[in-house]
Amino acid sequence: MRTIQLELLVPFGTIENRERNARTYDYTRRGALRTLDDFIIAPFQETLFDALSKEAQVDAKGIVQKICEKSWILGDKRLVAKVAPSKRTEYEAVLSDFAGALNGDRIRGMNYEKVNSYLDHINALASHHSNLCNQRRLELQTLDGKKLELDPSITELVVYLDSQRVKYPSELNGETFYKAKSLAARLEGIRKNFEEETQAQEGIPAKDLPEQREIDYELSDGSAVRFLFYKRGTTEYAKVFDGLAGPFDKKISSGTGDLVIAQALGFKAPYSATFGKSNIKVRTDIPKEGPATLVITRSYDGEIHERIYRIVEEEKILVSTEDVQANLTALLERYKDNSTQIKVDFYCAPPC
């Protein structure tokens, strides 16, 4: 049995406080959160999802064959679990293959048929680079079906070090699970606050870190802590894909891809639509001199993004291939995440 407590951070001003906060962080990350997950949260969730998967039936690869949803009434709470077959696409591979096709085609521009061909191609690539997976969702609700907010007053919880103890849905186990989730949320807040405050104290920028930086110091008992700051350097490839080939259902919106827009609105009257805080405007500019262009402008909450494609009306060229390549590069840059990440390692003291 272990009592997990919420330990709060203190102001970072002194060496002593910095050490105390480092120990609080280590306890929170490696002790408290891991214990809650290992002995309450994960076992409880897995039991529910395993039961649903059996009802939904799984194939040889463990993929459920149909959507299955079930709810449990546990005292004054409702648990709703859902499993469904889903698809995970490797969009980085899709876009790499698509860029290769563009480079290999060596055409000046794309007419309606060529745009349609490329849309078919990129969607075929998305299917090729997709794998089936299971989508799982678990939600705590009130008895009338509303989302149940976590309890911010939970500051400690007794955990029995037996993963079988709260494995099955019951009123008592449901309450324990709810308390564990509530406490874990507050502990995650402590972990995040420590990392953000340490980054600020050391003067590390939140993004575009020029090079990784390592800081370590020894604690009073001879143990040590090391902070490694580095640039994340990942890209949201799914958003890049949508920027080029995102489909539309009934109406073109800011989420519709450029090639789809060119296919639907090329050489047509200006178009504008607003959905909540997002807006899209599409127009064709044909000046007396210089190239004609298709201009696609998207705005969301005051932030404006514009992409331009040269067109040739006489040849019915909807988009310049060179501009498709340039805007693909611009989308890759826009959705690159250069935020600073932190890795924290603790090293024990040598034996006395």
In a shared domain, residues 296 and 197: no
253 assigned to some structural domain: yes
229 assigned to some structural domain: no
CA angle 90, 278, 287 (to 5 degrees): 95
230 assigned to some structural domain: no
Q: How many residues does the chain have?
A: 352
In a shared domain, residues 79 and 109: no
pLDDT, mean over the chain: 94
The 10s digit of each residue's pLDDT in 273-317 is 998 889 999 999 988 888 899 999 999 888 999 999 999 988 899
In a shared domain, residues 152 and 49: yes
pLDDT of residue 289: 85
In a shared domain, residues 143 and 29: yes
In a shared domain, residues 151 and 55: yes
Total-model pTM: 0.86
CA angle 342, 345, 351 (to 5 degrees): 165
What is the number of other CB atoms lying within 10 angstroms of the CB of residue 186?
A: 18
The b-or-e profile of 237-267 (16+ CB within 10 A means b, else e) is bbebbbbbbbeeeeebbbebbbbbbbbebbe
pLDDT of residue 276: 87
Q: Using CA atoms of 29, 32, 38, 39 in order, give the dihedral in degrees to the nearest 10.
A: -170
**From residue 257, how far is each of 80, 115, 310 by CA, in Å?**
35, 12, 17
Check: CB of residue 82 under 8 Å from CB of residue 51: no
Per-residue pLDDT of the chain (352 residues; tens, 9 = 90+): 999 999 999 999 899 999 999 999 999 999 999 999 999 999 999 999 998 988 888 898 889 999 999 999 999 999 999 999 999 999 999 999 999 999 988 788 999 999 999 999 999 999 999 999 999 999 999 999 999 999 999 999 999 999 999 988 899 999 999 999 999 999 999 999 999 999 999 999 999 999 999 999 999 999 999 999 999 889 999 999 999 999 987 899 999 999 999 999 999 999 999 988 899 999 999 888 888 999 999 998 889 999 999 999 888 999 999 999 999 999 999 999 999 999 999 999 888 7
In a shared domain, residues 59 and 184: yes
349 assigned to some structural domain: no
Long-range Cβ contacts of 50-59 (<8 Å, 24+ apart): 52/81, 52/82, 52/83, 53/83, 53/134, 56/83
What is the number of other CB atoms lying within 10 angstroms of the CB of residue 128?
A: 12
pLDDT of residue 105: 83
Check: CB of residue 140 under 8 Å from CB of residue 146: no
Domain that residue 188 falls in: 2-87+132-201
Burial class (CB in 10 A: 0-12, 13-18, 19+), 178: buried
Q: What share of the chain is helix, strand, coil (3-state, %, to 5)?
A: 40, 30, 30
In a shared domain, residues 101 and 163: no
In a shared domain, residues 44 and 61: yes
In a shared domain, residues 33 and 114: no
In a shared domain, residues 45 and 150: yes
pLDDT of residue 140: 95
In a shared domain, residues 64 and 174: yes
DSSP-based three-state secondary structure for 76: coil
83 assigned to some structural domain: yes
Check: CB of residue 41 under 8 Å from CB of residue 181: yes
Number of structural domains in the chain: 2
pLDDT of residue 13: 87
